[in-house]
Amino acid sequence: MSSQAHAAVHVGTAPTGFIRKYIFSLDHKVIGIQYFLLALVAVSVGIVLSVFMRLHLAWPQMHLPFLAGGLMTPEQYLSLVTMHGTIMVFFVLTTAPQGGFGNYFLPIQIGAPDMAFPVLNMLSFWTTFVAFAFMIGAFFVPGGAPLSGWTNYPPLTALGEITGPGEGMGETFWIISIALFCVGSLMGALNFIATTIDLRAPGMSLMRLPLTVWAWFVTAILALLAFGVLLAAGILLLLDRSAGTSFFIPAGLIVSDTLQKHSGGSPLLWQHLFWFFGHPEVYIAILPGMGVASHVLSTFSRKPVYGYRAMVYAICAIGFLGFMVWGHHMFVSGMSPYSGLAFSFLTLAIGVPSAIKTFNWLGTLWGARIQFTVPMLFALGFVSLFVSGGLSGIFLAQPAIDQYLHDTYFVVAHFHLIMGVAAIFGIFAATYFWFPKMFGRMMNDGMGRLHFWITFIGVYCIFMPMHFIGIMGHPRRYADATGVNYLVPMHPIHVFISVAAFVTAAVQLVFLFNFFWSIKKGPRAPINPWHATTLEWTVSSPPPHDNFDGHYPTVYRGPYEFNVPGAADDFIPQNLTPAEVGQVR
């Protein structure tokens, strides 16, 4: 069985026109890079917003030249909070790991020429792009950006301008943007699932899939089941705002001394619908990072992933449980204590598969001759942040403790560490790991190490102190804490956090410079610079238009065969035949 047999199937030649090649491309690799660049723009905006938030929190009286009165109003601060959260969660943490790297590498890693439905793939990116345009547009409409947080709770969001300057046109733009984002994500998820099920190369059984593919696959299932619910909720909210319905607006509501004419709805209905999406969304953001961490840890430990099957089952268990714990975001909403108990137990149960993953990562590292490359550093950082952020989750999962900690900086610290920064470290690990394959050049090692160490220390300096001010009772979303007596002693901590945030933000410029400089000037990358085993490392860097130049691979072994006794090299690519390995049965 030679690979020549497949060469007969010719996959269409690459388009040559600029528009078809780079703009409305059907090639999953181009679409993956488009997603990645979109996320890069979005994360830059998100970081700039957080810099302004930190400036204001540390020095509330500071005059900012671009603001009308010079001073930031509380509403403007809330707009920053809202847009920072929304842009980061949707347009960075959801698009980069899944739409970006998933799009680029899932088809190659399973030995397919492209996604199952390339046109749908293109549509999903451009829908997401239009969604982003609407989100950014919210800054520039009358009243400015919405101020209701990324969770967008009604009735604040359901009544229009009467509840705040950004709740007019800005809020409408927000909902439209998120609705479009849902549609784009659903199309993407459909493609990922069909591709993984039906386009695997011969021999690529489910238990031979790289853990990255498993993570993208389960993430796509979560996205498929979750985003439809958010879309439905968004449509109902839009109707409440514009058509006079009362899905989320209670009777007898008085806002700004005006009795609202709506009746009988409940803001809690929104909370249930939103968090039914919102909790799986957390795993949509973090699961791809887990896949990348497993992949990178194994490669640079030169050891197989410890407990591959357990890792697969843990990914599935986390995905499954993720749909049953949304109530833990609502412990203080007045829910029945019995419901709270059920949600609490289910939430704590997620600790089991999470611990399986963590211990298996440590098992992979155990006794290894670790190669401390830049992607490896970021993968190790991922594990560290995942543990640090996960441990505070155990506190928040208990209703009695959450009563106190809810809406404090403790929560901010928790979700930033586990969902924000850990996922970002997964993205960075993926970027440094796959950059040679995507752009055919190596990234600069020294700049990468500088970027890692300052970012790693920086994020701990930013988010660790937030646990303590949270425990001391500092509420989140306060624009200015200097006027509150019991918060005044905590102000120096805010200043420290802000300085750490500025340093961490500044060092991201090193990453940006390294990224774009290396695309042009980095040393040429060989086919397999990391001596890795999966299929993307068997093709040229960057891969040809159909990924395999017509020679579609056949897979003979699992994804992590490192240091196999008796083999010539310390790694065996998945497509090597037993004869080629030089092993006799």
Partner 1 sequence: MAPVITVADELELIRTGVTDHGHGRGGRGNGSGFERGHGGSEGGKRSGDAAVPQRAYITGIAVALAAILMFFMALVSAYMVRKGFPNSGWQYLEPPRILWLNTLVLLASSATIVVARRRLAEHDQSGFRYWWMLTTALGFIFLGGQLLAWRQLEHAGVYLSSNPSSSFFYVFTAAHGVHLFGGLVALIAVAVRDPRHLTRGTATEVAAIYWHFMDGLWVFLFLLLFLGR
Judged by CB under 8 A, the chain residues 11 through 70 that form the site for partner 1 are 11-12
Q: Which of 1, 19, 68, 254 binds partner 1 (CB under 8 A)?
A: 1
Residues 529-568 that bind partner 1 (CB under 8 A): 546, 552, 554, 556-558, 560-561, 564-565, 567
Q: How many CB atoms lie within 10 A of CB 488?
A: 11
By beta-carbon proximity to partner 1, the closer residue of 105 and 456 is 105
* Contacts for 287 with CB less than 8 Å, ≥ 6 apart: 215, 218, 219, 222, 315, 318, 319
Interface with partner 1 includes 9 (CB under 8 A)?
yes
In angstroms, the CA 188 to CA 121 distance is: 6
Q: Which of 114, 167, 402, 536 binds partner 1 (CB under 8 A)?
A: 114
Interface with partner 1 includes 231 (CB under 8 A)?
yes
By beta-carbon proximity to partner 1, the closer residue of 194 and 454 is 194
Interface with partner 1 includes 476 (CB under 8 A)?
no
Residue 216: C-alpha distances to residues 94, 124, 279, 415 (Å): 11, 16, 17, 21
Residues 394-453 that bind partner 1 (CB under 8 A): none
Q: Which of 88, 273, 374, 469 binds partner 1 (CB under 8 A)?
A: 273
Interface with partner 1 includes 205 (CB under 8 A)?
yes
Residue 239 Cβ vs partner 1, minimum distance, rounded to whole Å: 7
Q: How many CB atoms lie within 10 A of CB 294?
A: 29
In angstroms, the CA 84 to CA 416 distance is: 12
Locate tokens 């887990």: which residue?
A: 290
Q: Which of 41, 60, 117, 517 binds partner 1 (CB under 8 A)?
A: 117
Q: Residues 83-112: x/- map of binding to partner 1 (CB under 8 A)?
A: -----------------------------x
Q: Which of 189, 215, 218, 290 binds partner 1 (CB under 8 A)?
A: 189
Residue 227 Cβ vs partner 1, minimum distance, rounded to whole Å: 7
Count interface residues toward partner 1 (CB under 8 A).
72
Mark the segment that binds partner 1 (CB under 8 A) among 57-65, 122-130, 270-278, 360-368.
270-278
The DSSP symbol for 15 reads P
Q: Which of 201, 297, 507, 539 binds partner 1 (CB under 8 A)?
A: 201
Interface with partner 1 includes 222 (CB under 8 A)?
no
Q: Which of 42, 193, 418, 438 binds partner 1 (CB under 8 A)?
A: 193
Residue 557 Cβ vs partner 1, minimum distance, rounded to whole Å: 6
* Contacts for 371 with CB less than 8 Å, ≥ 6 apart: 300, 301, 302
φ/ψ (deg, to 5) at 259:
-75, 125
φ/ψ (deg, to 5) at 86:
-65, -50
Q: Residues 149-188: x/- map of binding to partner 1 (CB under 8 A)?
A: -------------------------------------x--
φ/ψ (deg, to 5) at 468:
-75, -45
In the chain the first and final C-alpha atoms are separated, in Å, by 19
By beta-carbon proximity to partner 1, the closer residue of 358 and 554 is 554
Q: Which of 70, 142, 244, 489 binds partner 1 (CB under 8 A)?
A: 244
Residue 96 Cβ vs partner 1, minimum distance, rounded to whole Å: 22
Residues 124-143 that bind partner 1 (CB under 8 A): none
In angstroms, the CA 407 to CA 265 distance is: 24
Mark the segment that binds partner 1 (CB under 8 A) among 7-15, 378-386, 466-474, 517-525.
7-15
Tokens of 328: 């833990």
In sequence order, what are the beta bridge partners of 255?
258
CA 246 remoteness from chain centre: 33
Residues 289-308 that bind partner 1 (CB under 8 A): 304
Let me know: does 47 contact 505? Beta carbons within 8 Å. Answer: yes
E-state strands within 146-238: none
Tokens of 404: 């106190």
* Contacts for 383 with CB less than 8 Å, ≥ 6 apart: 293, 297, 358, 361, 362
Side chain identity at residue 563, one-letter code: N
In angstroms, the CA 527 to CA 514 distance is: 21
Interface with partner 1 includes 227 (CB under 8 A)?
yes
Mark the segment that binds partner 1 (CB under 8 A) among 146-154, 194-202, 408-416, 454-462.
194-202
